[in-house]
Amino acid sequence: MADSRAVKFSTETLKEYEQTLARYPTRQAALLPTLWLAMREFGWISPQVEQYVATLMSLPPSHVRAVVTFYEMFHRKPVGRWHLAVCTNLPCRLRGADRIVRAIRDRLQIDHGQTTGDGMFTLETVQCLASCGSAPMLQLNQDAYYENLTVESVTKLIDELASRAD
């Protein structure tokens, strides 16, 4: 979504935003959940989305920019339908995270921060996702963990995702 004319929450998301705002003492405090809504709605946080959120919340655009750039979990460029965030912190590394990253790279021919040409997959290496006991692991699209990964299981996961029609 790069077209600034199209940057506007849907009616449903706007309603969620109003409910979110009501739960927080200040607009600043509601910024993080609002940015999550924005990422869900637009897929990533473009400069236009930053501006939209700043205007919507009556916050300085510089403040919104500072928050978006501080937190790694906000995508600042378009990502694929399937976002693979592989933890490469020490515990995951000790249990084979490098092999997992290599397997994904080999299978999809993309590197860290890249998206496949068909827009299906994005690979990112990230810091600890608090699942060290089941290392190595990855997070799929911010909402599902795949743990105790092996080269075989991650390859199977990619194949399953690639063949999903929904």
According to CB under 6 A, which one of 87, 100, 154, 157 is a site residue for ligand FES? 87
Q: What residues contact residue 164 under an 8 Å CB cut-off, 6+ apart?
A: none
CB of 99 to ligand FES, least distance (A): 14
Residue 132 in contact with ligand FES, rule: CB under 6 A: yes
Residue 135 in contact with ligand FES, rule: CB under 6 A: yes
CB of 138 to ligand FES, least distance (A): 9
Residue 59 in contact with ligand FES, rule: CB under 6 A: no
Residue 89 in contact with ligand FES, rule: CB under 6 A: yes
Which of these, 3, 58, 5, 9, lies nearest to 31 by C-alpha position?
58
Residue 38 in contact with ligand FES, rule: CB under 6 A: no
Q: Which residue's CB is nearer to ligand FES, number 115 or number 131?
A: 131
Q: Both tokens of residue 77?
A: 């460029």
Q: Which residue's CB is nearer to ligand FES, number 32 or number 129?
A: 129
Quick check: 72 and 126 in contact, CB under 8 A? Answer: yes
Quick check: 34 and 11 in contact, CB under 8 A? Answer: no
Distance of alpha carbon 154 from alpha carbon 3, whole angstroms: 35
Q: Both tokens of residue 26?
A: 């200040």
Three-state SS at 135: coil
Contacting positions for ligand FES (CB under 6 A): 87, 89, 91-92, 128-132, 135, 137
